Amino acid sequence: MSRIEQLISEIEEYIDGCKAQPFTNNKKIIVDKDELEELLVELRLRTPDEIKKYQKIISNKEAILSDATRQAEEMISQAQAQTQELLDEHEIIQQAYAKADEIVRSATVQGQQIVDQAAMDANAIREGAIRYTDEMLKSLQNIISHTMEGAKSRFDALNTSLQSSYQIVSANRQELVGEAPEEDAEEYED
């Protein structure tokens, strides 16, 4: 498990361990902003390391292709050397040409197969790295979205509570003003 996956697990465990916000059916939680930001900062710092690791794997594609090309060139060189030896022997010149062509054809096919396989492996590694990074970013996006929703719902709940209190205080003042004698009621209206 990579360090990024560990950090995401820690964030999920942290969220699971947070207290539920009252009156929210345990769907909204109270989050310590500093602790969550600390985990997100560490995740942000680790992400480039993981990406570098996968870029290094992708960069090995060049080494694989280079090795395949070198092997193909060695095979061709060996084929050419064998061809030259056969040409030196006058009585088997025809056999030498046929053998050389066969070796060159085989080396070319084998070299192309190695190059094709190396390219497929490199593409698979690159696609895997992109998928992995996208999954990590999607997970981070979900965490941020849930955090924003939680903060909005807490603000909305506070605002509703304050409005209710305001209405109660206003109603109480109305009652006080309504029950006072007329001369006192004028004082309260000011």
Buried b (16+ CB within 10 A) or exposed e, 29-39: bebeeeebeeb
Q: In which residue are the tokens 């697990």 written?
A: 9
Q: How many angstroms separate the CA atoms of 85 and 96, rounded?
A: 8
φ, ψ dihedrals at 64, nearest 5°: -65, -45
Look at residue 185 in the predicted model and tell me its pLDDT. 44
More confident call, 101 vs 68:
101
C-alpha to C-alpha distances, 59 to 122, 125, 180, nearest whole angstrom: 8, 10, 86
For the stretch 17-33, pLDDT in tens is 778 777 777 677 777 88
Total Cβ atoms within 10 A of residue 58:
16
Measure CA 25 to chain center.
31
Residue 14 one-letter amino acid: Y
Name which of 148, 158, 147 is nearest 18 in CA terms. 147
Q: In which residue are the tokens 């050419």 written?
A: 80
More confident call, 128 vs 48:
128
Q: How many angstroms separate the CA atoms of 190 and 185, rounded?
A: 9
- Which contacts (CB < 8 Å, 24+ apart) does range 138-141 have? 139/8, 140/8, 140/40, 140/43
Q: Is the pTM of this model over 0.85?
A: no
For the stretch 107-161, pLDDT in tens is 999 999 999 999 998 998 989 889 988 888 888 888 988 888 888 989 998 999 9
Domain extent listing, the chain: 3-150
Confidence band of 179 (pLDDT split at 50, 70, 90): low
Q: 3-class SS at 29? A: strand
Look at residue 114 in the predicted model and tell me its pLDDT. 93
Per-residue pLDDT averaged across 56-74, rounded?
80
Look at residue 150 in the predicted model and tell me its pLDDT. 87
